[in-house]
Amino acid sequence: MLENCVAHKSVKCLRNSAGSPVSLMSSLQRVIMKSRLPPMCPNPRFPKPSDRGFRRQTDYNPLMWDEFFAEKKDVETKQGKFRVYLSGPTEPGAPLLVLLHGGGFSALSWAHFSSEVTKLIHCQCLAFDIRGHGDTYTEEEDDLSAERLATDVGNVMHVMYGESAPPIILMGHSMGGAICVHAANMFVLPSLIGVVVIDVVEGTALEALASMQSFLRSRPTTFKSIQHAIEWCVRSGQVRNVESARVSMPGQIINIETKQLATNELPLKADSATEEKLEFKHPNAIAEDAESGENASSSGNEDAAITPPATPTGTTSVNLRKYAWRIDLSKSEKYWEGWFSGLSQKFLDIHVPKLLLLAGIDNLDRALTVGQMQGKFQLQVLARCGHAVHEDRPHEVAEVLATYLIRNRFAQPTTDGQFLRHMPAC
């Protein structure tokens, strides 16, 4: 009755210029009638992302290093062989960005960042696998003390450039950031002009050490394929950028049988890549937003697909235990405190311009908070990213670094280097 009255009044009171009544449905009537309509029948051929059965297929096949770097080489020092990745040459006088990865990562974690930053400014990127990581093999590989790792940086640069090294910007993430600070305080790089540290602060780092062993034990110890290792990397949150994980994760695992880094098996054979793709086509197999507990394949759940059973037997056990971590970080525990103790003051004592890039403002400790208020270093915070800031948001990190280098007149923008200038901010 209410609907009829509303409609009747609406028609009765509205007339056109000729005086004839005009039938106009009121907004209230439209809402009421719309609510009475039956729901639209979904088209099964085009499911919506919100549908429970909808699962986006993600490509977890690995990417090659040469899509991001122009050259790779092995640098021989007195301590051993260090794997180095270089971007293309640049104009004379341009700075060299020496990139140090975090613990357990590899030089390939800088792949996307290197590709992005060289588009914005004139510079060359050099990333190398730290002792005990990636394709670097040295004497005393278990010696991961801060002094040893900082000395390695100086040795690699000396072998490559001698006394004619270009201006160097030392940039590191997590453990690599701590090594940057130690190297700068030890003056192992005479041509150092700047230091950039990504998401490492003394206070929070030391607090996190108490739970580090528990975190390491929670990770799967083996993977049945490179694709499954990349899948775990993304779904566990270690790296939130799938494209970055596809190039960086193969540098963190080795083939258990051959003891070779997984990058040495790339590109994958066509049949291997096709086999994995077919496995992932199951709608509940690998879902970017799948709930825990859903089946990962027809033979078991997602944990079984990544982490092998406790007592595997037969041929299946070989397949499930094909790859393992390149480095056992739990064995380096005795060096952890040495990486981070006194780090904040050492960072403030560096006499070249400094940039601290964090994933959250709450990570600052007291010494750095006071130092930042005194203008002793530039602080930039990027939200909506995890600990691997340069992998999760490589373009934004490249913009921050480009702004820092141009602001200090260390580099010049490229001809097409139009980008968002990030001013120091929290």
* pLDDT tens column, 182-232: 999 999 999 999 999 999 999 989 999 999 999 999 999 999 999 999 999
Q: Which residue has the higher pLDDT, 310 or 375?
A: 375
pLDDT score for 240: 94
Catalytic residue among 101, 112, 182, 387: 387
Residue 337 φ/ψ, nearest 5 degrees = -65, -35
Domain layout of the chain by residue ranges: 65-216+334-413
Q: Please confirm, yes or no, whether 101 is among the known catalytic residues.
A: no
pLDDT score for 278: 36
pLDDT score for 147: 97
Q: The whole model's pTM is what?
A: 0.77
Catalytic residue among 174, 225, 244, 248: 174
pLDDT score for 366: 87
> pLDDT per residue over 121-173, tens digit each?
999 999 999 999 999 999 999 999 999 999 999 999 999 999 999 999 999 99
pLDDT score for 320: 72
Catalytic residue among 129, 152, 199, 392: 199
Q: Which residue has the higher pLDDT, 12 or 140?
A: 140
Does the structure show a pLDDT above 90 at 4?
A: no
- Give the integer Cα–Cα distance in Å for 200 and 214: 20
Q: Round the average pLDDT of the chain to a whole number and report it.
A: 82
> pLDDT per residue over 353-369, tens digit each?
999 999 987 778 888 99
> pLDDT per residue over 277-309, tens digit each?
434 333 333 444 433 333 333 333 344 334 443
Q: What is the CA radius of gyration of the chain?
A: 28
Choosing among 3.40.50.10490, 1.20.1080.10, 3.40.50.1820, 3.30.540.10, the CATH entry for 65-216+334-413 is 3.40.50.1820
CA separation, residue 353 to residues 7, 296, 347 (Å)? 73, 49, 11
Q: Which residue has the higher pLDDT, 67 or 272?
A: 67
CA separation, residue 35 to residues 41, 150, 235 (Å)? 15, 69, 40
Does the structure show a pLDDT above 60 at 391?
A: yes
Q: Please confirm, yes or no, whether 199 is among the known catalytic residues.
A: yes
- Give the integer Cα–Cα distance in Å for 35 and 212: 54
CA 53 to chain centre: 29
Asked if 245 and 233 touch (Cβ cutoff 8 Å), the reply is yes
Mean pLDDT of 403-408: 94
- Give the integer Cα–Cα distance in Å for 75 and 22: 86
Does the structure show a pLDDT above 60 at 118?
A: yes
> pLDDT per residue over 150-163, tens digit each?
999 999 999 999 99
Query: What confidence category does residue 36 fall into, taking pLDDT thresholds of 50, 70 and 90?
Result: low
Asked if 48 and 38 touch (Cβ cutoff 8 Å), the reply is no
Asked if 149 and 130 touch (Cβ cutoff 8 Å), the reply is yes
Q: Please confirm, yes or no, whether 387 is among the known catalytic residues.
A: yes
> pLDDT per residue over 37-71, tens digit each?
555 555 555 455 555 544 568 899 999 999 999 99
Quick one: 144 exposed, middle or buried, by C-beta within 10 A (0-12, 13-18, 19+)? buried
pLDDT score for 345: 95
